[in-house]
Amino acid sequence: MWDVIVIGTGFGGAVSAARLAQAGLRVLVLERGPWWGAARGQHPPDAPRRAWPRGVGLRRALRSVRWARDGRSGEWLARRDGLYELHLFDGLGTLTGSGVGGGSLIYTNIQQPADDALWSRAPEALRGGAMAPWYARVRATLRPAPLDPPPRRTAAFADAVAASGLGEVALPELAIAQADPAQSNAAGIMQPPCNMCGGCVVGCERGSKSTLDLTYIPLATAAGAEVRALCEVVALGARRRGPGYVVRWRDHQTGGERQAEASRVVVAAGTLNTLRLLLGARERDRSLTRLSEALGRGFTGNGDALSALWTERDNDTTGLAPAFNAFVRRPGFLIGEAGLPTQALGAPRWLTRPLDRLALLIAMGEDGAQGEARWLGGGVGVRLRRAQDRRLYDEIDGALGHLAMAWGAQLEAGIGVGGGPLRAALASVHPLGGARMAERPAEGVVDADGEVFGHPGLFVADGSILPAAPGVPPSMTIAALAERIAAGIAARG
């Protein structure tokens, strides 16, 4: 029997595994995806390794498609070792990562603390600057810093923002290695400086990106945690005799199913898969029927919206730069500029040259978190639409219109915003909420310590516990909460 089983290796799971193992607990970590980036040589010698999807290897890009609509749900598994998982709901699509390191493998490197507005909706114990020391721990491990100097396309974005009167551009702190020559990170692993190829969202081949498999996961394994890749958790339940929990998973290497028991379990499978496990447990396991009725409520896409502007001038969007380098803040939302990973994917210049006039803009906002996830016969269905926070998306539309005019845009298309056919649809790379933190079970699923109400020893430590949409990239906040939750578990011994 393990002291702790951690499900998932994203910003919640990797942090939890590292800190709990360092506290001397016997930790088993289960990850449904493979180890990625064989060229980096930082994986256990017997681990299954996968090169990043490139060229003919792009067939490894898609892991699975989960869908739910009209009261039914299903899954199409393309490749058990694929990198991306696509969720398709009625009016909402999401894209998430799969592999040791979770979302850090494909996120845009931004480490941005949440504003006070988020914590005003959290339990009292998390207010008044209580999260500051936990953010500091994340910062000390990932060592983010603004890109210096900023790339050319950031200058084009800054000019358009200034001309539109939207405010001043901010340069986010990015968790990438910038120092030359290569230097050792917080886990003792050498990371070469970023070569600005823009491949952040398709996997960093150089190992310059401070992903969790190069930071927190090595800290976990060095302290004795056992990480098992290609092991997809399919069920969670309480032990029949005595306290603790049973976790059952499908081993994608052998094709069989296995299970293990632990006195404590940390569920950090990513919002949608965490909700699938919890909703399924409440539906199928009588021992977990006490899970709060609030489970599934407060789901949010973090106000994500995507827009593309075809401009009158060359923005060099295919030039050397990480994926995301600058944003402008507005009350309740932000708009940032992003680039395409054409260079990282090896696309010929004759093909990418026309894209130099494409400005890709990403918005995030403090939406009303009015979505709801529910159990649909073996899967999860989510209802979330633009109309549930029309004010926010209208304000984003207005800001994008000002930017387009200042940039001399000839065409604007978008998902969730703009005037195109996808205006009514939503797309998110930040599905959050549904198992949110609260003071009492009627209002949420977990308490301020991440422990599930009514189920001692069962914790949740990923984006599903956020009490509202932060309106900024959530990775640093998820990691900081996991730091706090793990410290609380470790203190109990």
Map residue 113 onto helix, strand or coil.
Answer: coil
**Tens-place pLDDT, residues 110-140:** 999 999 999 999 999 999 999 999 999 999 9
* Cα 43 to chain centroid, rounded: 22
Nearest to 100 by CA among 86, 119, 81, 115: 81
- Categorize the per-residue pLDDT at 47 as very low, low, confident or very high, splitting at 50, 70 and 90: low
Task: Give every CB contact of residue 378 below 8 A, 6+ residues apart in sequence.
Answer: 73, 74, 280
The per-residue pLDDT for 46 is 62
For 446-479, what is each residue's pLDDT tens digit?
999 999 999 999 999 999 999 999 999 999 999 9
Helix, strand, coil: what percent of the chain each, to 5? 30, 30, 45
The pLDDT tens digits for 3-42 are 999 999 999 999 999 999 999 999 999 999 999 985 454 5
- Mean residue pLDDT across the chain: 90
pLDDT at residue 41 in the model: 46
Which tens digit of pLDDT belongs to each residue from 344-385? 777 777 777 777 778 889 999 999 878 999 999 889 999 888
Task: Tell me the residue ranges of DSSP E strands in 268-312.
Answer: 297-299, 305-310
Neighbours of 152 (CB within 10 A): 14
